[in-house]
Copies of this chain bind each other. A is one copy, B any other.
């Protein structure tokens, strides 16, 4: 049975190989493909507000972090990164992690969630985030140097979270 729970220190031995394989592929995350373990740990565990793991029978099948996307006056919008272990795709683990992260975000006062850099060729991810209520709100031309495909676009995706609270929002239409 798959369990989503907070990262604990002994989990790192299972988290690091999952991150390393994902980053080394150079197809979905901008982290250097040859990133070192210490740097990866800093990024995934130390800097974020919280990190979670998806565990099944003692194996780490996925992990995600959550943090404010901006400091101060932008800190009501959070940012997450999700990774699923090779061989564990197609089981809905990313979707479960994303829904878990949205609940956690609402509980901690966030009003929205933003993904800054969804690689446009990662079509499975784009479709999944759209199914979960995210919209493409920006497109960064050639911003990702895909290891196989060369320069490809990255997408900015955004979702207002259902917080149950009205908020005063001043929208400014495009000029």
Q: Is A126 in contact with chain B by the CB < 8 A criterion?
A: yes
| A169 with B151: CB separation less than 8 A | yes
| A150 with B168: CB separation less than 8 A | yes
For residues 56 through 115 of chain A, which have their beta carbon under 8 Å from a beta carbon of chain B? 69-77, 111-112, 114
| B32 with A72: CB separation less than 8 A | yes
A138–B69 alpha-carbon span in the complex (Å): 15
Q: Is A172 in contact with chain B by the CB < 8 A criterion?
A: yes
- Give per-residue flags for A138-159: 1 if the beta carbon is below 8 A from chain B beta carbons, else 0: 1111111111011111101010
Chain copies in the assembly?
2
Q: Is A48 in contact with chain B by the CB < 8 A criterion?
A: no
Interface residues on A, range: 35 or more
Contacts of A16 in B (CB 8 A): none
Q: Is A30 in contact with chain B by the CB < 8 A criterion?
A: yes
Contacts of A150 in B (CB 8 A): 168-170
| B112 with A30: CB separation less than 8 A | no
Contacts of A156 in B (CB 8 A): 138, 140, 156
| B32 with A73: CB separation less than 8 A | yes
Closest to A158 in B: B140
| B30 with A172: CB separation less than 8 A | no
Closest to A142 in B: B169
5 A–B pairs (Cβ distance < 8 Å), ordered by A:
A29-B72, A33-B72, A77-B140, A139-B174, A142-B169
Give the top 3 A-B pairs by smallest Cβ distance, nearest first: A138-B138, A32-B72, A30-B74
Q: Give 18 A-B pairs besides A74-B143, A74-B144, A140-B158 with Cβ atoms closer than 8 angstroms.
A: A26-B72, A30-B70, A33-B73, A35-B71, A69-B143, A70-B117, A70-B143, A74-B117, A74-B154, A112-B143, A114-B143, A136-B174, A139-B174, A141-B171, A149-B170, A150-B169, A151-B167, A153-B171
